[in-house]
Amino acid sequence: MKILVAISKVPDSTSKISFKDNNTQFDEAGIQFIVNPYDEWYALVRALELKENLGGAVTTITVGEANADPVIRKALAIGADDAVRIDAEPVDALFTANQIASFARDKGYDLIMFGKETINYNGSQVGAMAAGLLDLPYVSNASSLEVSGSSARLERDIQGGSQVIDVDLPAVISASKGMAEQRIPNMKGIMSARKKKLEVVAPIEAPRHTEVLSYSLPEAKSEVKLIDPDNPTELIELLHKEAKVI
C-alpha cells in the first residue's frame, strides 16, 4: 500500500480567535497550531494501521509555508514515513487541490486520504476537488475503511443510518470520526521525526477563484447596559424594574 495523507495546520480549538488587516486576515500571533484532528486522528492513524497490516509506506502532504513544519513533524512523530510540503499559502480550495493533485498524479498512490474537513474553515472541498482533478473515485465522510486486494470497503454515516460502499483503488477518501483512534506520539517517534525526510516542493501555477472579503466573530452576548451619565432616572428605573435591586 502506498498512501498519501493530506495534513493541514489548524489553530488549537481553545485559541482566542482574532482578525487583522481590516478583518480580512486571521491573526496568527500567539496561536498554538495543531494537526487538523480529522487528518491526524482518523486519516493518518488509519493509514498507518493499513501500512502495518499490509506493508507499504505513508507519506503526508501539506500545502503551506515553513511555519507548517512543526505540525508536519508531529505527523512524522506519529509514524508517517516521510512528508512533502508544497511551499505555498493554502488560500483557495481549488488552488490547494491542484497542488496536491499535481504532486500525486504520477506517484502511484493506492489511497489518498483527507480528513472530512479542517476545523478552521470547514470547507470540505479539497479532497473532492483533488479526486476530480486526478479523475479518481471519491468517497467522503467514511467512518471505517478496510482494504482487500484492489478495492476498499468503506462505511459512511448517513442521516439515520449508515451506508457501505466498495470502491476500486486507487481512490480518494475523506475520514470522519470512528475510522481510527488517536495515537499519542511516543519518544521513539518524536526523536525520529527530525531525521525523516520532509521534502519542500515548489508550487505549480494554479488559479485562485475565491477571495475572502472579511471575517467576523459571533456577536458577543449582551451583558452590560450603558446608560448616559446625564440620565439617572433611567438608571434608577432599570435598577428598580429590571435588576430589581432597589
Residue 236, interface with other proteins (CB under 8 A)?
Answer: no
Q: In terms of CB distance, is 148 or 186 closer to other proteins?
A: 186
Among 66, 191, 236, 239, binds other proteins (CB under 8 A): 191
| Shorter beta-carbon distance to other proteins: residue 1 or 238 | 238
Span near other proteins by CB under 8 A; candidates 95-103, 154-162, 177-185, 201-209: 177-185
Q: Does 217 bind other proteins (CB under 8 A)?
A: no
**226 vs 243, which CB is nearer to other proteins?**
243
Residue 16 sits in the site that holds other proteins (CB under 8 A)? yes
The label of the residue with cell 525523516 reads 196
Residue 164: φ, ψ to 5°: -110, 130
Q: Does 30 bind other proteins (CB under 8 A)?
A: yes
Contact between 206 and 94 (Cβ < 8 Å): yes
DSSP string, 23-71: TTEE--TTPPEEE-HIIIIIIIHHHHHHHHHH--EEEEEEE--GGGHHH
Cis check for the bond before 170: say yes or no (omega within 30 of 0).
yes
Q: What share of the chain is helix, strand, coil (3-state, %, to 5)?
A: 30, 30, 45
Q: Which is nearer to other proteins, 212 or 239 (by Cβ)?
A: 239
Three-state DSSP class for residue 76: helix
Residue ranges in contact with other proteins by CB under 8 A: 14, 16, 30, 70, 73-74, 77, 182, 184-188, 190-191, 193-194, 223, 243
